[in-house]
Amino acid sequence: MGRLGYIFRCIAHMDYGALFDTVGRVHDKSGKNRIWLFFDVVKCGFKFGAGYKDYDLLEFYNMDDAHRATFVTRGVNNTIVRMLNDPAYYHIVDNKNEFYEQFDEYLHRGWLHFSNSSKEDFAAFMEGRDEIIAKPSDASCGQGVEKLARADFDSLDALYDHLVSSGADLIEDVVVQHPDMARLNPGSVNTIRVYTVRVDGVPHVIYACVRMGNSDRPVDNINAGGMYSAIDLETGKISGPACDKSYHVFERHPRTGTLLPGFQIPLWDEVMGLCLEAAAKMPGMGYVGWDVAVTQDGPLFIEANNLPGHDAFPQMPSQAPDHIGFKPAFQKYLKNL
C-alpha cells in the first residue's frame, strides 16, 4: 500500500498546470505527440514512480521501459527511504540543533542555538568573531541561509535585532574550506554529498558528488542555482562534467575556469571515513545523505538528510548516455528494490 499510497497522494496534490507545461516543453524538444506524451508521463508515474519533472530531466521520452526501470526516480528514492529509515528518528536531522548536539564531535566549529538563547548568550558567542552563518529553523535547499559580517551593522545590538527579525534559529562559525575546494568556487563552501546505506548493521558509501555554487549566494545547493559532479569513490576525483537543473553541462566551472573532470578532492580517505563512522552511529536511519565540508584541518559535517535527494545521482542525459540509471547500485544492497 506504501507505493500505491504515494502515487495517489501525488495525483491528489499534482500541479496539473506544471504537468501540461512539461508535456508542451517535451513536445517542443522531441516532436512527439502531446497526447502520447501525456499518457506516457502518467504511465511512468504508476510504473516507475517518476514524476513529470523526472520524466523531463531524465528524458524518459527517449527510452524504452527496460531502461526506465534502471533509474532512481522520486518514487524509487522514497521507497528506499521507507525501507531503511524509521520516521520516529527523523527529528535527529530535521532539527539542526538536535543534529548538532548529537554529532558535535564531527562539526569542528562553534555554534549557538540562537532562538533558545538570551541576548547575553549571543553577545558572549560573538566575542572574537567577525562573521557568522545564520540559518532559520526550517531551512532547506540553502534557503534563508545568510553569511553576516559584524562590520555591516552599526552595533552588535543591530545584528542581534536582524537575526531576530529574520527568524534565525542557529548561528555558527563560518567554515573556511580547504584551498583546493576554494579553487572550484571561492564564493561558496563547496560540499561533498555522501550517500550511505546501512544494511545488516554495516554502513556502505554508495555514491558521492561535489556540489558547487554558481551564483552570488554563499550556498552550493543545486536547487539554489548550484551544480554537481559525481566523484569516483575509489580515487576521490571528479569523474565527469558538472550539471545543473537547467540542463547545462560544465567541463569547467563558469566562474573560476577550474577544470572539473579529474579534479582531486582533498583528504578523500578522511571524508569517507567520517561518513562511515557517523553512519554506524545514526540510530533508526540506514539511508542518509551527509553534507561534508573539507577544511585544511580535515572534513566536517554541515548537516545530514533523512530524505537524500535523488536529483544529484549521475542520471542526467550527459551522465547516462547509455540510458542506464543508478538503481542497480542500490540493488547490490537492497535485493527487493
| Res 328 pLDDT > 90 | yes
The mean pLDDT value for 82-91 works out to: 96
| Res 140 pLDDT > 60 | no
**C-beta of residue 279 within 8 angstroms of C-beta of residue 288:** yes
- Cell of residue 160, nine digits: 542581534
- 87-103+177-331 against 110-172: fold identical: no
The mean pLDDT value for 171-178 works out to: 95
Give residue 13's pLDDT band: very low, low, confident or very high (50, 70, 90): low
Domain 110-172, architecture per CATH: 2-Layer Sandwich (3.30)
Q: How far apart are CA 57 and CA 297, in angstroms?
A: 38
What's the pTM?
A: 0.89
Q: How far apart are CA 140 and CA 261, in angstroms?
A: 28
Q: Note the pLDDT tens digit of each residue in 275-324.
A: 999 999 999 999 999 999 999 999 999 999 999 989 899 999 989 999 99
Alpha helices in 85-200 (DSSP H): 91-94, 96-102, 119-126, 156-166, 179-182
Give the dihedral sign, CA 302/236/70/89. negative
- Is residue 195 within a helix (H) or strand (E), and if so which, with residue range? strand 192-199
Residue 138 confidence (pLDDT): 60
One of 3.40.50.620, 1.10.357.10, 3.40.50.2000, 3.30.470.20 is the CATH number of 87-103+177-331, namely 3.30.470.20
Identity of residue 146: E
The mean pLDDT value for 217-222 works out to: 57
Partners of 243 in the beta sheet?
228, 249
Q: What single string gives the DSSP state of each residue in 278-318? A: HHHH-TTBSEEEEEEEEETTEEEEEEEESS--GGGSS-STT
Closest CA to 102 of 230, 305, 278: 278
